[in-house]
Every structure is written in C-alpha cells, then in structure tokens.
C-alpha cells in the first residue's frame, strides 16, 4: 500500500528577511513565534496527515532540520543538496526516494497557516485528486492585490493559467475578476506521475537529477553531478506545461512571511507591540523612539541594523544581493 509522505523543501535563505535570516540560520529556523520556528510548525501541521517525512535541504542547514525533527521525535529521510538547483530538482530527488505509487505532499518550510480543519480538508482533497493521477496545486483565496505572489487563474478545479508576480494594476484586476488564487507553492501527486511529466517536459533535468540521486551517499548528493542539473522551478518545468494539473481552492489563512511587511502583519495579529504610528522594533528590547515616522520597522542584530518602511520591505532583497555580490560575511 502506498504511503503519504510529507516532503519539506527547506533550502531557501529568506533573503527578504535579512538581517534576521542568514545562510547559517534561515528564516524557517528562527524562533520568532510563540509556537517556535516556521519549520517546526510545518512539521507539526502535517504530522497527523502523513505517514512519512522527507526533508530536502542543503549542506548549510540540514543540521538545523535535524535538531527540530529529533526534538519532536519524528523519523525522517534526509536529502542534502550540495548546491541549490531550484525546486524541480529538489522535488525530483524526493520522488526518486519514494515508491512509485507513494503520494507526496510537498510544502515549503517557512509558511504560516491558520485554520487546522480547513487545512486538513484541503490536503485530503489534494490527496484524492493525486490518487486519480493528477498533479495538484493549492491556491489561496487572495485578501488583497498582492504584488509579491504568483497567481493561479482557475475555473472549478481546472487551472487556466499561472501568472507571474503582477504589478499593482494587474493585481487589482485579478482581485476584481474573482477567479484568481495566490500560488502557495504547495503540491500533491503520485511520485511516478510527477517523474513522468518531468521526464517528458524537461528530460535533461530528469536525467541529470537521476544521475545525481543514483550516486548519493546517505542522502548527500554529489556536488559535481549536481552542478550539471539545470536550475529551474517546478512551476516552469511541469506545472505550466502539464495537462494533468488540478487546483484545490483553499479556505485557510496563509502567509509565506516572505517580507518584513508580511512578518509585521502576522506579528501584529498575535499581539506584538507597535507604537501609535505603527512603528515596530524586532530583535531588541532597547527603548526605541520614532519621530516623524510611520509604519517603520527597525530590525536589530548583533552586527547589523535595518530601517525599512513597511510597504518597501520587498526591496530588502536588494541589500542582501549587494552584500552577496561583495561576499560579505553579513549574510553568512
């Protein structure tokens, strides 16, 4: 009988949450919340829904995953990427590690989800469609014209199109039309279904990922073979091309906490303090006063200070990219 395996993708660094998020301690492992880390919350959320766990991480953070999983008493399969090759390869590795008829529930490790019952219902719907041979994506009901997310145009459970992150006017059009969902980056499918579609549409990704997998040692992938894998997302590789795609329109509350604005909104909803002008301080208990500023976020770490207007928080990635270009230790 096939297993339902929770595949956790945990290779990202959360560059838009710098300086809190670093290569050595990405956002999914930060204990920012009463419930602990986003990674830990992801594991707990799916514990009752899946029989097995597979974590696809990288050589910089797999020990952090191990600490969380061992603290929760969860047995798991570890797949350690030697070098980032995007989500198509990461998901292929998990599929290679599974039995052909296993159902894989693929989720990022850094999302906040509120509404356990609605979440469980959505996952159950996805599993049923996956058993029928479909590749399922989970769409989120949009609550605002967000420009930081991709969108799914849909009719019933059929995907009409995937749309890239829109500008403000286009996002507002999507909301007005009413048949667009945010793309959550969560998927569900049989292992063999996904691999068949990947082999059809991206044979080079399939072949090079398989070669890297066949030479893995205790879940650790060879760097030389990994570098031969084209870096491409599962959206481009399969989701936007396959005829087997279905969508589950979910009812739970969701955020990818991909920016300080999203983090601000979530923390505010949990009672985190701000001043009368909506200014927030993260990472410090030092008395901080704001004069003439509104909706400003101050982020403090031992070696960096960030001041950012809430609505400009997507631009934090530019700072990270500049530091990375100059090989700064501030991102390590």
pLDDT tens digit string along 302-332? 999 999 999 999 899 999 999 999 999 999 8
The per-residue pLDDT for 194 is 98
Helices (runs of H) and strands (runs of E) counted in the chain: 11, 14
* 226: containing domain: 4-255
- 221 with 313, same domain: the answer is no
Instruction: Kindly state the tokens that stand for 209.
Output: 């990922």
Distance CA 32, CA 47 (A): 21
The per-residue pLDDT for 93 is 98
- 120 with 196, same domain: the answer is yes
Distance CA 8, CA 321 (A): 25
Distance CA 123, CA 104 (A): 11
Distance CA 13, CA 27 (A): 7
| Side-by-side strand order, sheet with 280-282 | 280-282, 296-300, 305-309
- 304 with 155, same domain: the answer is no
- 135 with 122, same domain: the answer is yes
Query: Token pair 């500049």 is at which residue?
Result: 322
The per-residue pLDDT for 275 is 95
The per-residue pLDDT for 13 is 83
DSSP E strands in 231-270: the ranges are 245-249, 253-255
- 220 with 113, same domain: the answer is yes
The per-residue pLDDT for 31 is 87
The per-residue pLDDT for 1 is 62
The per-residue pLDDT for 36 is 86
- 237 with 310, same domain: the answer is no
- 243 with 288, same domain: the answer is no
pTM of the model: 0.91
Cis previous bond, 27, omega within 30: no
DSSP E strands in the chain: the ranges are 4-9, 52-58, 77-81, 103-108, 112-114, 135-140, 151-155, 158-163, 180-190, 245-249, 253-255, 280-282, 296-300, 305-309
- 105 with 199, same domain: the answer is yes
The per-residue pLDDT for 314 is 86
204, 221, 255 — which closes off a domain?
255
- 122 with 227, same domain: the answer is yes
201, 227, 255 — which closes off a domain?
255
Q: At what angle do helices 191-201 and 86-97 cross, to 10 degrees?
A: 140
CATH classification of the domain holding 107: 3.90.550.10
**Residue spans of the chain under pLDDT 70:** 1
Let me know how long the chain is: 332
- 226 with 271, same domain: the answer is no
255, 272, 300 — which closes off a domain?
255
Total domains, the chain: 2
Distance CA 21, CA 313 (A): 14
The per-residue pLDDT for 59 is 87
- 235 with 288, same domain: the answer is no
Plot region of 178 (φ>0 → left; ψ -120 to 50 → alpha; else → beta): left
- 268 with 135, same domain: the answer is no
Q: Contact, 123 vs 113, CB < 8 A?
A: no
- The DSSP H or E segment spanning 94 is helix 86-97
Q: Contact, 252 vs 139, CB < 8 A?
A: no
- The DSSP H or E segment spanning 256 is none
For strands 280-282 and 296-300, give the pairing: parallel
């Amino acid at each position: 009988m096939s297993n339902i395996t929770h595949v956790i993708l945990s290779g990202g660094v959360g560059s838009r949450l710098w300086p809190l998020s670093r290569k050595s301690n990405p956002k999914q492992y930060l204990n920012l919340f009463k419930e602990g880390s986003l990674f830990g919350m992801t594991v707990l959320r799916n514990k009752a829904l899946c029989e097995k766990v597979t974590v696809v991480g990288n050589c910089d953070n797999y020990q952090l995953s191990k600490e969380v999983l061992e603290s929760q008493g969860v047995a798991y399969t570890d797949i350690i990427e030697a070098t980032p090759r995007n989500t198509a390869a990461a998901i292929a590795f998990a599929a290679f590690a599974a039995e052909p008829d296993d159902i894989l529930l693929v989720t990022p490790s850094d999302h906040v989800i509120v509404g356990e019952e609605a979440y469980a219902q959505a996952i159950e719907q996805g599993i049923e469609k996956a058993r029928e041979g479909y590749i399922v994506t989970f769409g989120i009901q949009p609550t605002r014209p967000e420009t930081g997310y991709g969108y799914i145009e849909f009719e019933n459970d059929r995907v009409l199109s995937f749309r890239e992150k829109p500008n403000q006017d286009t996002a507002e059009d999507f909301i007005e039309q009413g048949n667009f969902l945010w793309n959550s980056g969560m998927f569900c499918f049989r292992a063999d279904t996904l691999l068949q579609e990947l082999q059809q549409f991206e044979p080079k990704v399939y072949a090079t990922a398989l070669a890297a997998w066949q030479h893995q040692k205790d879940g650790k992938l060879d760097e030389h073979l990994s570098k031969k894998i084209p870096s491409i997302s599962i959206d481009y590789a399969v989701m936007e091309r396959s005829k087997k795609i279905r969508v589950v329109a979910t009812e739970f509350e969701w955020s990818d906490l991909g920016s300080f604005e999203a983090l601000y909104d979530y923390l505010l909803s949990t009672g985190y303090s701000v001043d009368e002008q909506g200014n927030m301080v993260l990472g410090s208990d030092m008395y901080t006063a704001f004069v003439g500023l509104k909706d400003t976020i101050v982020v403090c770490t031992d070696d960096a200070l960030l001041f950012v207007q809430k609505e400009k928080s997507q631009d934090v990635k530019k700072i990270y990219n500049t530091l990375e270009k100059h090989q700064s230790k501030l991102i390590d």
